[in-house]
Amino acid sequence: MSLATLAALMMIVSGMAHASVNAILKSGKDKMSSRALIDGTSALMVLPAAPFLPLPHGAWGWLFASTAVHFAYLFCLIRSFETADMSVAYPIARGIAPALAATVAVLAFGEPISPWIAAGIACVSLGVMLVGLGRHADRKALAWAAATGVTIALYTVIDAQGVRAAPTAFSYIVWTYLMLGGAIAVTFALWRGPAFVVAARSEWRAGLAAGALSVVTYGLALWAYRLGDTPRLAALRETSILFGVAIAIVFLGERPTRARLAGVGVIAAGAALLLAAG
């Protein structure tokens, strides 16, 4: 198996886990407290590995930049989930991200892109948008979802550069969760105050499960970025929407529409192009 194929498969698995994490976040009553539980759990899970890995020399700047952008991302994500259904907010955010990430990666960092990969990215982005735009959303909800998409694109490109600059993929992954998870958990928990304690008592099991899945989803994505090119891999991760739609329908009781089903088909076509291009 080639490294390009391995990276692609890692991204698809990452997308599956990512959809589950967002479904757990959406189902929680207190979104900010839920996010604190998820990220705090992730940080604690990777902490024992830190003494056995090299420090991420050469990647500290990328790590700090990623942490700052992730703060903005999570705030926008939570606000988008509070103002619209998951099946509306999630696809819009994820649909904007791959095309923008590819543009930045190619123009700013000179990463390669072929016509077939560009076509696959376009299909994935269009399909993801179709999944979300089949339902009504007000301007405020659309604005938060779009802002989430912009931040996703930014941290994707930043982390792709950072994991390549670090001594090993694992050192960057562990320090990403220590810095990001620890900072977000403490900040959001203090922000919610006593409400966080109440939420933690009732939602700690979901937070534990989502925290473990979070390590899997972004850990795999970061590892894949070290093995392959950002434009193709960032788009493949958005196959998570296929699993997100299934979760929204089966577990969250949201009804499918023709637009959503058409979007799923276009995403699948885009994924096939991206896999073939690798």
Spans of all domains in the chain:
3-277
**What are the C-alpha distances in Å from 19 to residues 160, 163, 212?**
20, 23, 13
pLDDT at position 133 is: 65
pLDDT at position 134 is: 56
pLDDT at position 66 is: 95
pLDDT at position 86 is: 64
- State the first-to-last Cα distance of the chain, in angstroms, to the nearest integer: 11
Q: Which residues of the chain have pLDDT under 50?
A: none
Please state, in angstroms and rounded to a whole number, the distance separating the CA atoms of residues 220 and 169. 10
pLDDT at position 18 is: 83
List, for residues 171-202, the tens digit of each pLDDT value.
999 999 999 888 888 888 888 888 888 888 88
pLDDT at position 109 is: 93
pLDDT at position 137 is: 62
pLDDT at position 117 is: 95
Please state, in angstroms and rounded to a whole number, the distance separating the CA atoms of residues 155 and 114. 23
Half-sphere exposure of residue 212: CA atoms within 13 angstroms, side-chain side: 5
pLDDT at position 272 is: 92
pLDDT at position 6 is: 92
- Spatial CA neighbour of 6 closest among 256, 232, 163, 177: 232
